[in-house]
Chains A and B, each alone.
Chain A
Amino acid sequence: GAGVSQSPSNKVTEKGKDVELRCDPISGHTALYWYRQSLGQGLEFLIYFQGNSAPDKSGLPSDRFSAERTGGSVSTLTIQRTQQEDSAVYLCASSLYSGSKNIQYFGAGTRLSVL
């Protein structure tokens, strides 16, 4: 596709339910990133995938959060037993190059509201 695509654009769920957020990166981009943007917290890194390497999960806030990337393309971020503090905009980005030319292109995000 022309850009990074995320779905759904909005998700409302009840506390305790599981949710899945999807990201389709730009075709051919080998790196994929998930970030979270909370009110007053700014943008924070969650997880990063590069090719077939083990993902960098250092930003995941708890073991309720997990992500996978199938076939080196589409990624799914799963939040189990959602809590109200999980309410945020979840942004996905992809990039082609590494090093100083690493430009990350972002999707429009999924706005998650946990009631």
Chain B
Amino acid sequence: KQEVTQIPAALSVPEGENLVLNCSFTDSAIYNLQWFRQDPGKGLTSLLLIQSSQREQTSGRLNASLDKSSGRSTLYIAASQPGDSATYLCAVLTGANSKLTFGKGITLSVRP
């Protein structure tokens, strides 16, 4: 059974800091990995998707990497801003047409 872990559960950093959010998963036979952002009371916004054959994806200040063999992904946020404050969820797709298995998320607070 696939399990996804995100540690720590919460993180508080000063504005401008570069930071790394970690995600680990137990079954390396994945099709892809997605990072989502969730604002309080809102749905999920897809940030980056890394296909199983890829090592990383970039979008603006965000960079996500994937190491399937070790079951790890990282989301790098450069020059953090207060507007980045949200919960960041990692999810893996284990079947081609299948459900996502989610971590419990990391709640990020960026202090002005």
Contacts and interface: CB of A to CB of B under 8 A. Distances in A.
Interface of A: 4, 31, 33, 35, 42-45, 48, 50, 56, 59, 91, 93, 98-109, 111
Given A99-B31, A107-B43, A48 B99 contact: yes
B61 interface: no
B105 A42 contact: yes
Contacts of A48: 97-99
A106 B89 CA distance: 13
**B contact residues, range:** 20 to 34
A56 B99 contact: yes
A43 B42 contact: no
A102 B96 contact: yes
A50 B98 CA distance: 9
A4 B89 CA distance: 19
Contacts of A103: 34, 46, 49
A35 B89 CA distance: 14
Contacts, number: 65
Q: Considering residues B31, B45, B97, B104, which has the most beta carbons from chain A within 10 angstroms of its beta carbon?
A: B97
Contacts of B101: 45
B53 interface: yes
B51 interface: yes
Contacts of B100: 33, 35, 43, 45, 104
Query: 6 closest Cβ contacts across the A-B interface?
Result: A45-B99, A100-B51, A43-B102, A106-B44, A108-B43, A42-B104
Given A42-B104, A43-B89, A102 B32 contact: yes
B32 A42 contact: no
A100 B53 contact: yes
A97 to B, nearest CB: 9
29 contacts: A31-B97, A33-B100, A35-B99, A35-B100, A42-B102, A42-B103, A42-B104, A43-B91, A45-B99, A48-B99, A50-B97, A56-B98, A91-B43, A93-B44, A98-B96, A98-B97, A100-B51, A100-B53, A101-B32, A101-B49, A102-B32, A102-B96, A102-B97, A104-B34, A105-B46, A108-B42, A108-B43, A109-B42, A111-B41
